[in-house]
Amino acid sequence: MIQLLVSLPGLILIVLLFLFISLKILREYERGVIFFLGRFQKVKGPGLIIVIPGLQSMAKVSLRTIVMDVPPQDVITRDNVSVKVNAIIYFRVIDPQRAIIQVEDYLYATSQLSQTTLRSVLGQGQLDDLLSKREEINSKLQQIIDQQTEPWGIKVSAVEVKNVDLPQEMVRAIAKQAEAERERRAKVIHAEGEYQAAEKLTQAGEIISRNPTTLQLRYLQTLTEIAAEKNSTTIFPVPIDFLEPFFRRREPEKRSS
């Protein structure tokens, strides 16, 4: 009887210790991949689960979206320009079983795969494509990486090229190219303005030639504008056509005399 009483507290202590070791709590975004004697058994969670020590083992996996920064990579574009490019990749585990069984470390594997894919894809295009077609490159990177990580139970939702570091001589060359492009556009716009102005002047000349009174009205309007200015003396040329009516009135007077 005494031995039973002595062993009872010890037994209770062992049971409590066993429960303490066996009980696991998984959060809502966590899953536990359970192995029984080294063989895959099931995926458990979330909530309170029991893992039998010695017989079962558990690998915890997070289902939240992971934001991974891809380190800067030295890339040589198709037009032989050396640049440094880094990116950000967004992915999450959609199959905990494959993420644990099919690859040793899915975080490290995804990071290495992203780096090699970044160098491979960007090396196939030219520098202008890298700078101007960023969305197309991001979409292509996402499709390639997602296709290769699919056997691991990983879904890549987005890949974004973050920074493109150019050599200083290339930065100066791009600045000169941009300046030349702006000058070209300015000259084209100026030429188009001159062409449109010439067209309008031609139309105005045709209208005035059909109606000479329009020229006189324009002349009077110009006089009004000049008179509004604070000038003490104004010299304005008078067209002969404007004085022709006065000459016609004097001709009958001379004939009568």
Domains located in the chain, CATH noted: 16-62 (no CATH), 66-166 (3.30.479.30), 177-256 (no CATH)
Nearest Cα neighbor of 61 from 47, 45, 75 is 45
Hey, is 232 helix, strand or coil? coil
pLDDT digits (tens, 9 = 90+) for 77-130: 888 888 999 999 999 999 999 999 999 999 999 999 999 999 999 988 888 888
Residue-wise pLDDT for 162-215, tens only, equals 888 887 776 676 667 677 777 888 888 888 888 888 887 777 777 766 766 666
Whole-model pTM over 0.75:
no
Give the up-direction half-sphere exposure of residue 243: CA atoms within 13 A in the CB hemisphere. 6
Residue with tokens 């017989």: 55
Report the amino acid identity of residue 101.
Answer: I
Beta carbons of 55 and 35 less than 8 angstroms apart: no
Residue 83 DSSP class:
E
